[in-house]
Every structure is written in C-alpha cells, then in structure tokens.
Amino acid sequence: MVKKAVIPAAGYGTRLFPATKAIKKEFFPVVDREGRAKPLILAIAEEALSAGIESIGIVVQASDRPLFEDFFKTEPTGDYRAKLLPKYADELDALLAIGQRITMLTQDTQDGFGHAVYCAADWVAGEPFLLMLGDHVYRSNRSDSCARQIVDAYQTVGMSVIGVEAAPITDCTHRGCVTGRWRSGSSSLLDITEIYEKPTVEYAQQNLRMEGLSDEHVLAASGLYLLPPEIFRYLEDDIRHDRRDRGEFQLTTCLESLRRDRGIAAYLVNGRSFDVGQPQYYRQTIMGYGLPE
C-alpha cells in the first residue's frame, strides 16, 4: 500500500512575478469540473487523496508555514462561516478534515527540486511514496484519477513508476523526458531506458523517439512519480558531494541513477496534466482544466 504523498511547495514562483509577490503560486485559483473555485494546492491534495493516499507532506519555506497551516488547519475567524452558503459550510468542514491529514515539512534553503524532495526523507520514513509537483493539476479521461492510475501501475509492476504523457517535441526544452521499450502486450507501460531533463529538440529527435509516437512528439513527465525510499540515498549522496546541475540539486539525475541500478517503469497516463508554473501555461489551465466532460 502507498500511504504517503509528498508535494514540494517551497519555491519562489519567480516566473509568475509580479503575481507571486502578492500570493504564493500554490494558492493561485483554479476552477474544477464541478465549478468549484479552489487554490492549486487544494486541487493537488484532493488528487492525492483520490489515489488512496492517507497522509500528505507539503514541503514549504519556514516563513510560509503559517500561511499553509492557516488555510488547511484553522477555522475562519469572525462570522465568516455563518455567511457561507450551506454547501460551502460543508466544504469548509471537508477542507479542515483534509488538513488533519497534512504535515508541513520545511526546506530551509531553496537548493532545487531534488533538495526539496530530500527534505521529506525523515517524514517518509522508509515507505514508497507518491511525489507530486506543486504546480500541476490533472484531469483524467477515466473514472479513476491520474494519481490513482500511477498507484495502480506501481502495484502492477512492483517498481518505481513515472507518469508520462505525449507532448509536442518543442516542449521538451522545459520538461523532463523519457524513452524506453513498451512492455509486452501493453500500450501504456514501458521500461525506461533513458531519463533526460530538458533536452534540446535536436537531442530529443535523435535519442528520445518512441515507437508508436509521431516524430513530432516525445514522452514527457507529467509530474506524478511513485518512488521507493531508496531515492533519498541518491539525493543524499548528491547533496553530500555537492553535485549540482544548473546550480541546484536535481531529482532527474538521481532518477537516472535509480533506473540504472533498479529499473524504472513509465505509465502513459490516460488524462492530461495542466501546468501553472508559467503565465502562458496558467492561462491554458484556466481555460482547460475545468471543462466539463
């Protein structure tokens, strides 16, 4: 059973300046299929719970901890509750119930995505865990959520799983990409032979093509990872020896080491991820995430 999810949310969100000077990226609003307006971090937490996750660790900056705790764990002051419509009062109770499942973890220095993940090592405590990007939301094309699909894939293959989606090859320069061999009889599971962070288009064309995809597409990570606790050993080794990529500790280099040692599968998610990390993608999220089925 996969019981824990980790959501890194300690970045500055500088690509969304000046909006992120006023509000944390994780609290940008999105509207779901039911027409509910909610902050991004709540949509991600609900996605985790839809996969059967019992506990969520959110990695934040120390100075931001009160903001997240106030949202998830604090009853509104004054007559705020009394002024809510009855259905929203029920949703407030549901929000506070979600808060009881959330633990705030601290990243004291912003040293990259890999470092943020490593800050959850003690809390994960030797269990497999679902890692979710703090600036992505998901819309499944099936009755089961995208996160549920990743958990089920992990239980099928018994090894680490990265959620992937077909993306235009021009997007590869700002995404992690994979290639590999499809598992026998499957059109959604593959054994990864290479993981590459933000390749050039030329590199992707020459090295990351996949059978069954057009030359204009690559398999890109969708922001969902089902990882074993051993990933922290690779992260710790990079941090101890100050091995950085682009000035920061990266997760991708450690995933590639894990792949070489133990193997990693990828699952082609039946759904779509929506990125909120840059203005042009946030616009697409606002327009597409909440579309009715």
- Residue spans of beta strands (DSSP E) within 68-159: 102-106, 129-132, 136-140
In the three-class reduction of DSSP (H, G, I as helix; E, B as strand; rest coil), residue 168 is classed as strand
DSSP annotation of 7: E
- For residues 152 and 157, give the distance between their C-alpha atoms in angstroms, rounded to a whole number: 9
pLDDT by residue (tens digit) across 9-28?
A: 999 999 999 999 999 999 99
Please compute the mean of the pLDDT values over residues 111-121 and round it to a whole number: 95
Which one-letter amino acid corresponds to residue 1? M
* pLDDT band at residue 293 under the 50/70/90 scheme: low
pLDDT by residue (tens digit) across 191-243?
A: 999 999 899 999 999 999 998 888 899 999 999 999 999 999 999 999 999 99
Evaluate if residue 186 carries a pLDDT over 90.
Answer: no
pLDDT at 211: 87
pLDDT at 245: 84
Query: From the CB of residue 89, how many other CB atoms can be counted at a distance below 10 Å?
Result: 13
Instruction: Report the chain's C-alpha Rg in angstroms.
Output: 19
Whether 274 and 149 have beta carbons less than 8 Å apart is answered as no
Within 8 A by CB and 6+ apart from 209, the residues are 179, 215, 218
* pLDDT band at residue 292 under the 50/70/90 scheme: confident
Please compute the mean of the pLDDT values over residues 27-48 and round it to a whole number: 96
pLDDT at 76: 93
Within 8 A by CB and 6+ apart from 165, the residues are 219, 220, 222, 268, 269, 271, 272, 273
pLDDT by residue (tens digit) across 54-74?
A: 999 999 999 999 999 999 999
- For residues 234 and 204, give the distance between their C-alpha atoms in angstroms, rounded to a whole number: 26
Evaluate if residue 96 carries a pLDDT over 70.
Answer: yes
Evaluate if residue 4 carries a pLDDT over 90.
Answer: yes
pLDDT at 82: 92
Residues in the chain: 293
pTM of the complete model: 0.94
End-to-end CA distance of the chain: give it in Å, rounded.
Answer: 30
Within 8 A by CB and 6+ apart from 206, the residues are none
pLDDT at 14: 94
Return the ∠ at Cα 48 (arms to 42 and 51), rounded to 5°.
145
Mean pLDDT of the chain: 94
Q: Which two tokens stand for residue 288?
A: 């597409």
pLDDT by residue (tens digit) across 233-283?
A: 999 999 999 998 888 899 999 999 999 999 999 999 999 999 999 999 999
